[in-house]
Amino acid sequence: MARSTISPVFLAVFAFVTLTAFASDAPASTDVVTFVNGEQMSGQLVKVADGRVFFHSDMVGDVTLDWAKIKDLKTAKPFAVIAKGAKLVKRHSGEKVPEGTLEVTDNKIAVSGATPATIPTDQAAYVIDQPTFDKEMDTNPGILHGWVGAVTAGVSLVESTQDNTNITSAITLVRQSPSVTWMTTRSRTIIDFSNSFGKVTQPGTPDVKTNIFHADGEQDEYFTDRLYALGHAAFDHNFSQGLDLQQLYGGGLGFTVIKDKIQQLDVKGDLHFERQQFDLESNNENLFGSEFAENYLRKLPHGMVFTQGLLFDAAWNNTNAYSAQGAFGLAAPFSKKFSLSINLLDGYLNNPPPGFKKNSLQFTTGLTYTIK
């Protein structure tokens, strides 16, 4: 039988085509960073935010770099470079953002593409990959997109001569539209719920019960990046103060006094209708009033977050029926998603039924799961 042979010419052509394909594929999807000491690292530029360069290398993993450590950077894929102070809304609003592949040298970002430009690195607020930029600029995400927040739960049980059960829970959800920080905020939705239940039982004696819950929702529509109109509703029940149900419906204005990468301070005021229903019906009230509130959030070292809120609710048709609240919280993370939370809530109700205290103080600790 004759043995088949393969032409040397065919082998040479096959090898050339294969090597050419591999050679063309490698740089097509690889970004390269050259450091000031001459060393290089290849991988993928993820983004640039707040003067920090986020880069992924298959060999090293995710790294965060300062511009000062980078001599030059070249990308194979297109990015959008957003300058400091830019106010971006949707694509049709006419903003011109440089988009294309990047080459960084001498602390300058050269953008090659349909909208070429050169921007100093210290003037670039964000560098966003093209697919993400297009998605945020051209689409309107659905109502289920963009929610962030936290779920907290705590429990304590004692079984002895007295049986004691205490359960606390809280949910906070916030949806900002657009959901990215490099676009001008148009709206914000806030949902809060908290509950504290306690029960002490002992044979031969009546049960002692504590049941407090609060729920509220707020919709903010922004006139500018700091001034907004708001509409909100709130519901409260406090067994310890004889309050069966308090309902509040109103609207007003809010203003963000401080807003940066580590802290935010909002102040708000409204006009509202409030219905108070007590266990003692003679104390029921229909009130027209105003609520004045401030909310503060600050990011602390090691990923900890401090929150604080103060509220004063005044009734214009019955000046004796006022109330106030103060809330303080600290969350200390011990993993990517979980943290230990400590919360203090002090509520004051000036017109409870006879025999009930005006002040209600809660101190709770629990485990918090972060939603992103």
* Segment 112-128 mean pLDDT: 89
Lowest mean pLDDT among 137-146, 238-247, 359-368: 137-146
The residue with tokens 């149900």 is 245
Amino acid at 107: N
Average pLDDT, the chain: 88
Per the structure, the complete domain to which residue 264 belongs is given by: 147-371
Computed on alpha carbons and rounded to an integer, the radius of gyration of the chain in Å comes to: 29
Q: Give residue 1's pLDDT.
A: 42
Do 328 and 336 contact (CB within 8 A), yes or no?
A: no
Lowest mean pLDDT among 100-109, 114-123, 328-337: 114-123
Indicate the residue among 138, 156, 172 that finishes a domain. 138
Assigned token pair, 174: 């916030």
Q: Is the CA virtual torsion 260, 265, 270, 276 positive or negative? A: positive
pLDDT tens digits, one per residue of 24-65: 444 457 999 999 999 999 999 999 998 899 999 988 899 999
Do 147 and 108 contact (CB within 8 A), yes or no?
A: no
The total of structural domains in the chain comes to: 2
Lowest mean pLDDT among 80-94, 106-120, 213-227: 80-94
pLDDT band per the 50, 70, 90 thresholds, residue 206:
confident
Is 316 found in the same domain as 167?
A: yes
As a whole number of angstroms, the distance between CA 26 and CA 214 comes to: 57
Assigned token pair, 84: 């400091």
Backbone angles phi, psi at 164, to 5 degrees: -125, 125
Assigned token pair, 306: 């401090």
27 found inside a domain:
no
18 found inside a domain:
no
* Segment 290-315 mean pLDDT: 96
Q: Where are the alpha helices (DSSP H) in 2-145?
A: 8-28, 130-138
* Segment 13-17 mean pLDDT: 44
212 found inside a domain:
yes
338 found inside a domain:
yes
Q: Where are the alpha helices (DSSP H) in 57-172?
A: 130-138
Is 114 found in the same domain as 222?
A: no
The answer on pLDDT for 210 being more than 80 is yes
Q: Does residue 12 sit in helix, strand or coil? A: helix
pLDDT band per the 50, 70, 90 thresholds, residue 9:
very low
Q: Give residue 7's pLDDT.
A: 55
Is 174 found in the same domain as 38?
A: no
The answer on pLDDT for 14 being more than 80 is no
200 found inside a domain:
yes
CATH of the domain at 229: 2.40.160.40
Indicate the residue among 84, 118, 138 that finishes a domain. 138
Q: Does residue 352 sit in helix, strand or coil? A: coil
Assigned token pair, 226: 């700091």
pLDDT tens digits, one per residue of 311-333: 999 999 999 999 999 999 999 99
10 Å CB burial of residue 52 (0-12, 13-18, 19+) is: exposed
Percentage above 70 pLDDT, the chain:
91
Q: Answer whether 0.95 is exceeded by the pTM.
A: no
**102-141 burial, b if ≥16 CB within 10 A, otherwise e?**
bebeeeebbbeeeeebebebeebbbbbbeeebeebbeeee
As a whole number of angstroms, the distance between CA 51 and CA 181 comes to: 14
Q: Give residue 6's pLDDT.
A: 52
How many helices (H) does the chain have, and how many strands (E)?
2, 22
Indicate the residue among 82, 104, 138 that finishes a domain. 138
13 found inside a domain:
no
pLDDT band per the 50, 70, 90 thresholds, residue 93:
low
Is 167 found in the same domain as 190?
A: yes
* CB-based contacts of 88-96 (< 8 A; 24+ apart in sequence): 88/137, 88/182, 88/183, 88/184, 89/183, 89/184, 89/186, 90/137, 90/138, 91/137, 91/138
- Cis peptide bond N-terminal to 178, omega within 30: yes
11 found inside a domain:
no
Q: Give residue 105's pLDDT.
A: 93
Is 61 found in the same domain as 175?
A: no
Q: Give residue 17's pLDDT.
A: 43
* Segment 198-217 mean pLDDT: 89
Q: Is the CA virtual torsion 131, 137, 139, 143 positive or negative? A: positive
Q: Give residue 370's pLDDT.
A: 93
Dihedral over alpha carbons 332, 226, 131, 66 (to 10 degrees): -60
The answer on pLDDT for 277 being more than 50 is yes
Assign 3-state DSSP to the chain and report helix, strand, coil percentages, each to 5: 15, 60, 25
Is 93 found in the same domain as 39?
A: yes
The answer on pLDDT for 18 being more than 50 is no
